């Protein structure tokens, strides 16, 4: 901060201000890099090495238990592309992702919109939608496998009351996807709703008032004011949900019957790519780490491609500038 | 600005909180390193298990007779324990001095014998005759290295519900019941008899996989031949076991549960199935899951020869820094006295014939199971079992077979299609 | 984010609630259903934790609490029975989650500020790289990361579950989005004119402004770190556990899992989280409502 330099001789003052100007310039130039450095340093240590290591391992036939391994080039990848279980996992992953992401984000938008209004006991409602995030995964797994049990699950019990026969949720393909999507939606809808709510809170009232003057009711305001104004947050959640959804592992893994390995059901009906990776690397008796590394890299590519496509798609939502 | 003042206070609070956390963390860190230095003069042996093996008092005993040795035990979930072991073995760090390996995983760990201390170096070879032959065999590497010493065995019997048998017009006395099924064919035939008069919603057995695995356990050779080759596709005995299982499922004898699933647990309470292949530890399971069925159960022998489901080994990873001490501890924990003690504590069946024939085991009766002489029955089954050649992919083949059977029970594939896929999966393993 | 021109307010006025937009009874019914749906699994885990082991498989399902809760919790903290120091696990988790949360919020705000408001060469490209790091699947890095932990000597130490998570791309992303919208350039320019160097601008202008999103990010980070399951299982042992490792130990009864005990463990492990949740939750709502600098 400026000090009273009136008493000092002018040449000292000039040198002082020159140094200060140089420091100021250094500060403006260097501080951005300094500020982003922690992230990149940490990623360099804990992110880059695993990436490169896994890339290397994917070109070998490394088995976790065997003492030696040899370079085999792209053999893992060519085998992977011909592997029907890999493509099965890709289909499962995409299917579960669509079922669990699209309704979830729409629901989150609606919930945020509702929570944004004047409500009594507002705090209570806003916080209770986050409770699924607080519940531990062990409990979630136990509870949802009970809920969707075939003969004795609560969901089938309720369906029976309205005359619908038992559905073998875990056994079928689409049914297991629905059960898993319910699990994922339950867990994440509050999280996304909160993000939307935070974004909605920064929309100026004037916009709503202006549109109300134009005769728009709540729903039209939602479509024409709210959604365009929070478009960046929507893009953000779509990308995060895409990345998380395509990497889905925990929910389907815990949905399996205990001690049944990592196959995602007797017919691999809900085995995601991450689960297939885990099966090859750790599950059962294979420990085929080279192959698993190749799966990991293919997953990486898949996520990159689909995230980009999603980004392009969501951008077509009319932006606030339009 | 009004917000600036509260903002500063807020920030101060955050900084204060950060300082508190840092101090706590720092003191905790300092305390643990200080404690670590103290123990460096003694030997601390770490033991890693996947369940309560009942060793607590045994540790105390060992520590008293071996001053300077401290034993620290840790338990982790079954799946986590074994995948962590694989990871530790692969990266050369992180394994305990003594590691428990369950029978489902012993095959692939012993396929890499160099990763473990060969206990022959510490005189374990002289102890061979203590154990059941098949149990001893399973712990050996391909060149005879002693990778693991046996702890308990699951053995196998058939637990059945007397009241459901009575309702279906079958005998309920356990000797008579054991006579009903000298072979597995007879078992399936009995099932047909049962289904003809069974109460609604009740099936003869719980899961096709359990029955199939019991059958395969008695077959020799099964999945592997002596040279270590996988012979699933060409072995007629494997196909015979499969076909018989399919026959039973087709006759409606299976409830189609996956073992350890929620539905299976509830099935015990609801009496949805009349028999279940029963290792010794299953008794505790049934008692915990369905306490209201006390006295309604009884136990009979399995068809054919004996059987086994479960049981473990103790091994010393090669990376251990206290190999000699660890090997000594392993010999102690698997000694006859120790295994007898464990049997009293937890009911885990010893893997040693002398103990199986002892009064303690053979005299053991279980009131929950209609006072059946369970010690005798399980001992008989364990003693009757013959050694079987197993190979590294044993567990994966078993998982593939369980999935294949489930697919049929869930009516997703015909037996023929499921068998074809099973063979394909087995082929992909090599 | 495009900023619609608005007047710069010099005083923070509380948002007028939109009177014309009051919620009707149907809305309340829907919200109550939503709350029931969200709370039910948590409630039910308490129900199971308050019965004995056979309750989980009962049919029709047990829906009301039983009387065994005290007993199960006592068993939980009795190290002789459960073979893990559950109290220590709670303390460890608290330490880990707190350190990670504070670090993530601070460093994400720092980096987000740089990306949002400071111009420097390569900022666009570097930001894309930040987003790209989100794509790396977690399962990929387990073995190499474990090898690194061996090299650093962090196996079974809390550093192993803290260090890799001190800054996250998610946090940077979130902060950048928020800061570019909620912190007007005019304020920063004004501070600069006053002679503030960049760190002071950050400390006095940006940090107060990001309180709402910092509370959100802090809460989410705390919860995620507390609930982190797979990595602590790999790198810690039951001798120095976090709460999830401890729960896994409870589940590790070889053949006969004691569900009542396990769910007691998970329920107790949630309580500190709930406490943080309730405290910070009010902050979020309060912060969002006040909206320190907006227009």
Helix axes C69-77, C259-290, angle to 10 degrees: 90
- Within 8 A of A145 by CB-CB distance, chain B residues are 261-262
More confident residue, C202 or B157: B157
pTM for the full model? 0.83
CA atoms within a 13 Å half-sphere pointing along the CA-CB vector of B346: 23
Residue of C nearest to B46 (CA): C239
Other CB atoms within 10 Å distance of the CB of residue C20:
12
Computed over every residue of chain C, the mean pLDDT equals 79
B314 SS3 class:
strand
CB neighbours of residue B69 within 10 Å: 18
CATH number at residue B244: 3.40.190.10
pLDDT of residue A180: 95
Convert the pLDDT of each residue in C23-70 to its tens digit.
678 888 888 888 998 888 888 888 888 887 777 777 777 778 888 888
Confirm whether B24 is domain-assigned. no
Contact B266 A64 (CB under 8 A): no
User: What's the pLDDT at C247?
Assistant: 82
C-alpha to C-alpha distance for C48 and C63, rounded to whole angstroms = 9
pLDDT band at A129 (very low <50, low <70, confident <90, very high): confident
Which of A64, A152, A266 is the closest to B266 by Cβ? A152
Which of C32, C206, C83 has its CA nearest to residue A124?
A: C32
Nearest one of A259, A253, A288, A257 to A273, comparing CA atoms: A253
The predicted structure's pLDDT at residue A133: 83
> Could you give the CA distance from residue C91 to residue C98 in angstroms, rounded to a whole number?
11
Q: What's the token pair of residue C141?
A: 């890095």
- DSSP label of B146: B
- Show residues of chain C in contact with B76, CB under 8 Å: 233, 237-238, 245, 248-249, 252
- For residues C147 and A45, the answer to whether their CB atoms sit within 8 Å is no
Bridge partners, residue B149, by sequence: B314
Q: Are B347 and B53 in contact (CB under 8 A)?
A: no
Residues on chain A touching B413 (C-beta within 8 angstroms): 267
> CA B108 to CA A65: how far, in whole Å?
9
The pLDDT assigned to C2 comes to 33
Q: Is residue B34 part of a domain?
A: no
Query: In the sheet where B98-102 sits, what is the strand order?
Result: B69-75, B43-49, B98-102, B311-315, B148-153, B349-350
B80 and C255: CB-CB below 8 Å? no
Residue C159, min C-alpha distance to chain B (Å) = 10
Q: Tell me what pLDDT residue B40 has.
A: 42
Return mean pLDDT, chain A. Answer: 84
Choosing among B29, B30, B50, B76, which should be mutated to test the C contact, i.e. which has the most C CBs within 10 A?
B76
Domain C84-290: assigned CATH number: 1.10.3720.10
Q: B–C: how many Cβ contacts below 8 A?
A: 131
Vertex B387 angle, CA B384 and B388, to 5°: 125
C36/A97 Cα distance (integer angstroms): 25
**C290 falls in which pLDDT band (50, 70, 90)?**
very low
Q: Which long-range contacts (CB under 8 A, 24 or more apart) does B323-326 make?
A: B323/B97, B323/B117, B324/B122, B325/B43, B325/B45, B325/B69, B325/B97, B326/B45, B326/B97, B326/B98, B326/B117
> Where does a domain end: B356, B389, B419?
B356
Cα–Cα separations (whole angstroms), residue B211 to B60, B187, C86: 41, 10, 40
Task: Give the span between the Cα atoms of A196 and B221, in whole angstroms.
Answer: 63
Q: Do B302 and B315 lie in a common domain?
A: no
- Confirm whether B199 is domain-assigned: yes
| Beta-carbon contacts below 8 Å between A and C | 280
Least confident of A195-199, A245-249, B365-369: A195-199
The SS3 of residue A230 is: coil
Give the DSSP letter string of B205-222: ES-HHHHHHHHHHT-SS-
How far apart are alpha carbons A137 and A186 in whole angstroms? 12
Q: How far is it, in rounded angstroms, from Cα A226 to Cα A201?
A: 10
What count of other Cβ atoms lies within 10 Å of the Cβ of residue A70?
A: 8
| Whether residues B323 and B267 fall in one domain | no
Provide the β-strand partners of residue B278: B157
pLDDT at C9 (0 to 100)? 33
Phi (first) and psi of residue B75, to 5 degrees: -120, 135
* Same domain flag for B132 and B254: no
- For A67, other C-beta atoms within 10 Å of its C-beta total 9
Strand B311-315 and strand B98-102: the pairing is antiparallel
Is 80 exceeded by the pLDDT of residue C12?
no
B1 within domain boundaries? no
Do A60 and C188 touch, CB atoms closer than 8 A?
Answer: no
What's the gap between Cα B319 and its chain centre? 25
Determine whether the interchain pair A285/B108 forms a contact, defined as Cβ–Cβ distance below 8 Å: yes
Specify whether B48 is located in the same domain as B140. Answer: yes
Element of type H or E holding C241? none
Query: pLDDT tens digits for A263-286?
Result: 889 999 999 999 998 888 877 666
Instruction: Give the domain extent around B116.
Output: 43-153+311-356
* B109 is a domain residue: yes
Eight-state DSSP code of residue C96:
H
Nearest CB neighbour to A257, from listed B260, B266, B412: B260
- C-alpha angle with apex B66: B60 to B72, nearest 5 degrees? 50
Q: What pLDDT digit, counting tens, does each position of A210-222 carry?
A: 877 777 777 777 8
Interval A3-24 mean pLDDT: 72
Confidence of residue A135 (pLDDT cuts 50, 70, 90): confident
B381: Cβ–Cβ under 8 A, 6 or more apart, which residues? B155, B156, B157, B301, B302, B306, B307, B308
Alpha-carbon gap, residue A247 to A275, rounded angstroms? 9
d(CA B218, CA B187): 15
| B-contacting residues in C 10-69 (Cβ below 8 Å) | 10-12, 53-54, 56-59
Q: Quick one: average pLDDT of A232-242?
A: 85
- Spacing of C-alpha A155 from chain mean position: 27
> What's the gap in Å between the CA of B136 and the closest CA on chain C?
21
Which parts of chain B sit beneath pLDDT 70?
1-41
CA angle A163, A104, A162 (to 5 degrees): 5
On the question of pLDDT at C160 being above 70, the answer is yes
In A, minimum Cα distance to B110 occurs at: A65
A11 CB neighbour count, 10 Å cutoff: 8
Omega within 30 of 0 (cis) for the link into C60? yes
Specify burial of residue B169 (Cβ count, 10 A radius: 0-12, 13-18, 19+).
Answer: exposed
Cβ neighbours of residue B338 under 8 Å, at least 6 residues apart? B55, B58, B332
From the CB of residue A158, how many other CB atoms can be counted at a distance below 10 Å? Answer: 11
Cβ-contact B67, B341 below 8 angstroms: no
Predicted pLDDT of residue A167: 92
Tokens read off for C140: 């990929």
Same domain (yes/no): B281, B325: no
**B410 → closest Cβ in A146, A261, A266:** A266
Task: Identify the residue whose tokens are 């001490």.
Answer: B325
Q: Domains, chain A, ranges and CATH? A: 78-314 (1.10.3720.10)
Across the interface, do C18 and A49 touch by the CB < 8 Å criterion?
no
Contact A64 B78 (CB under 8 A): no
Is there a single domain that holds both residue B193 and residue B339? Answer: no
Predicted confidence band at A22 (pLDDT cuts at 50, 70, 90)? Answer: confident
3-state percent helix, strand, coil for chain B, nearest multiple of 5: 55, 15, 30
Task: Provide CB contacts within 8 A for A269, sequence distance 6+.
Answer: A92, A171, A172, A173, A176
pLDDT at A136 over 80: no
Distance CA A204, CA A208 (A): 8
pLDDT band for position C16 (cuts 50, 70, 90): very low
CA distance B48 to B96: 6
User: With 80 as the cut, is the pLDDT of residue C161 above it?
Assistant: yes
Q: Which residue has the higher pLDDT, A92 or A50?
A: A92
* pLDDT tens track for A69-107: 889 989 999 999 999 999 999 999 999 999 999 999 999
- The answer to whether B288 contacts C233, with C-beta atoms less than 8 Å apart, is no
Shortest CB distance from B262 goes to which of A66, A145, A260?
A145
Residues B256 and B401 in one domain: yes
- In chain A, residues with a C-beta closer than 8 Å to the C-beta of B110 are none
Residue A53 or residue C252, greater confidence: A53
Per-residue model confidence (pLDDT) at position B10: 62
Domain boundaries, given as residue ranges, for chain C: 84-290
């Amino acid at each position: 901060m400026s000090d009273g330099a009136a008493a000092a001789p002018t040449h000292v003052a000039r040198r002082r201000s020159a140094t200060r100007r140089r420091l100021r310039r250094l500060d403006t130039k260097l501080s951005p890099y300094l500020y982003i450095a922690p992230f990149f340093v940490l990623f360099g240590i804990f992110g880059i090495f695993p990436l490169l290591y896994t890339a290397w391992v994917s070109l070998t036939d490394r088995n976790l238990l065997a003492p030696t391994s040899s370079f085999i080039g792209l053999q893992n990848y060519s085998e992977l592309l011909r592997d029907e279980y890999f493509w099965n996992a890709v289909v499962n992953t995409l299917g579960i992702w669509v079922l669990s992401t699209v309704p979830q984000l729409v629901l989150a938008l609606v919930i945020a919109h509702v929570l944004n209004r004047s409500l009594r006991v507002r705090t209570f409602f806003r916080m209770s939608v986050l409770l699924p995030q607080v519940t531990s995964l062990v409990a979630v797994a136990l509870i949802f496998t009970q809920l969707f049990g075939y003969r004795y699950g609560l969901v089938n019990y309720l369906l029976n009351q309205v005359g619908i026969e038992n559905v073998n949720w875990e056994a079928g393909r689409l049914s297991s996807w629905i059960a898993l999507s319910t699990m994922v939606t339950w867990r994440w809808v509050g999280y996304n709703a909160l993000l939307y709510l935070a974004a909605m809170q920064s929309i100026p009232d004037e916009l709503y008032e202006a549109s109300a003057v134009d005769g728009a009711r709540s729903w039209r305001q939602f479509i024409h004011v709210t959604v365009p104004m929070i478009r960046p947050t929507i893009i953000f959640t779509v990308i995060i949900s895409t990345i998380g959804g395509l990497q889905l592992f925990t929910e389907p893994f815990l949905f399996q019957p205990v001690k049944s390995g990592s196959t995602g059901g007797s017919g691999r009906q809900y085995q995601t790519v991450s689960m297939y990776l885990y099966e090859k690397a750790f599950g059962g008796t294979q420990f085929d780490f080279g192959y698993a590394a190749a799966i990991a890299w293919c997953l990486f590519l898949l996520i990159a491609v689909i995230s980009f496509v999603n980004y392009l798609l969501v951008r077509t939502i009319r932006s606030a500038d339009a | 600005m009004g917000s600036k003042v509260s903002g500063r206070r807020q920030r101060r609070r955050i900084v204060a909180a950060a300082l508190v956390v840092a101090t706590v963390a720092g003191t905790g860190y300092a305390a643990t390193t200080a404690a670590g230095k103290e123990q460096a003069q003694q030997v601390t042996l770490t033991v890693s298990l996947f369940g309560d093996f009942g060793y607590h008092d045994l540790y105390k005993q060992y520590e008293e007779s071996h001053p300077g040795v401290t034993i620290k035990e840790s338990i982790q979930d079954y799946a986590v324990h074994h995948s962590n072991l694989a990871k530790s073995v692969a990266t050369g760090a992180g394994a305990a001095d003594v590691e428990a390996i369950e029978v489902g995983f012993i095959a692939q760990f012993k396929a890499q014998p160099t990763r473990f201390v060969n206990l022959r170096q510490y005189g374990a070879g002289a102890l061979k005759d203590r154990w059941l032959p098949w149990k001893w065999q399973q712990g050996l590497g391909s060149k005879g290295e002693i990778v693991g010493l046996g702890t308990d065995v699951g053995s196998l019997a058939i637990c059945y519900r007397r009241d459901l048998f009575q309702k279906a017009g079958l005998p309920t006395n356990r000797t008579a019941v054991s006579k009903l099924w000298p072979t597995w064919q007879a078992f399936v035939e009995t099932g047909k008899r049962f289904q003809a008069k069974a109460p609604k919603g009740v099936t003869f057995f719980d899961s096709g996989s359990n029955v199939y695995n019991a059958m395969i356990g008695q077959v020799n050779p099964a999945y592997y031949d002596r040279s270590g080759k996988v012979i699933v596709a060409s072995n007629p005995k494997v196909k015979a076991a499969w076909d018989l299982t399919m026959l039973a499922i087709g006759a409606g004898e299976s409830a189609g549960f996956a073992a350890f699933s929620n539905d299976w647990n509830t099935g015990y309470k609801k009496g949805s199935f009349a028999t279940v292949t029963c290792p010794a530890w299953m008794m505790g399971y049934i008692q915990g899951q369905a306490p209201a069925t006390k006295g309604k159960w009884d136990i009979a022998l399995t068809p054919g020869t004996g059987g086994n489901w479960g049981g473990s080994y103790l091994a010393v990873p090669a990376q251990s820094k206290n190999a000699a001490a660890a090997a000594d501890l392993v010999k102690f924990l698997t000694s006859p006295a120790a295994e007898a003690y464990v049997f009293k504590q937890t009911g885990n069946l010893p893997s040693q014939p002398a103990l199986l024939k002892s009064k303690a085991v053979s005299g053991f009766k279980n009131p929950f199971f209609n006072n059946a002489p369970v010690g005798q029955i399980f001992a008989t089954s364990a003693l009757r079992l013959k050694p079987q050649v197993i190979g590294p992919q044993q567990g994966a083949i078993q998982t593939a077979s369980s999935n294949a059977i489930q697919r049929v029970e869930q009516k997703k594939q015909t037996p023929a299609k499921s068998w074809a896929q099973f063979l394909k999966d087995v082929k992909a393993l090599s | 984010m495009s900023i619609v021109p608005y007047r710069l307010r010099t005083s923070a006025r509380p948002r007028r609630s939109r009177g014309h937009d009051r919620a009707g009874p149907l809305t309340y019914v829907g919200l109550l259903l939503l709350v029931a749906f969200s709370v039910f699994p948590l409630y039910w885990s308490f129900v199971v934790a308050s019965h004995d082991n056979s309750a989980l498989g009962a049919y029709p399902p047990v829906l009301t609490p039983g009387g065994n809760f005290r007993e199960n919790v006592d068993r939980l903290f009795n190290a002789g029975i459960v073979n893990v120091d559950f109290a220590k696990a709670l303390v460890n988790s608290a330490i880990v989650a707190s350190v990670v949360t504070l670090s993530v919020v601070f460093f994400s705000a720092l980096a987000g500020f740089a990306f949002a408001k400071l111009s420097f060469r390569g900022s666009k490209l570097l930001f894309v790289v930040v987003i790209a790091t989100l794509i790396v699947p977690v399962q990929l890095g387990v073995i190499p990361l474990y090898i690194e932990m061996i090299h650093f000597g962090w196996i079974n130490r809390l550093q192993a579950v803290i260090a890799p998570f001190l800054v996250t791309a998610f946090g940077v992303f979130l902060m950048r989005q928020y800061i570019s919208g909620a912190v007007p350039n005019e304020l920063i320019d004004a501070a600069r004119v006053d002679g503030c160097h960049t760190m002071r601008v950050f400390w006095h202008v940006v940090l107060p402004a990001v309180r709402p999103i910092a509370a959100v990010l802090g809460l989410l980070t705390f919860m995620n770190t507390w609930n982190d399951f797979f990595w602590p299982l790999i790198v810690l042992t039951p001798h120095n556990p976090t709460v999830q490792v401890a729960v896994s130990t409870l589940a590790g009864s070889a053949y006969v899992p004691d569900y009542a005990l396990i769910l007691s463990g998970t329920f107790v492990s949630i309580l500190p989280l709930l406490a943080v949740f309730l405290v910070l939750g009010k902050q979020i709502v309060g912060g969002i409502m006040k909206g320190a600098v907006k227009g």
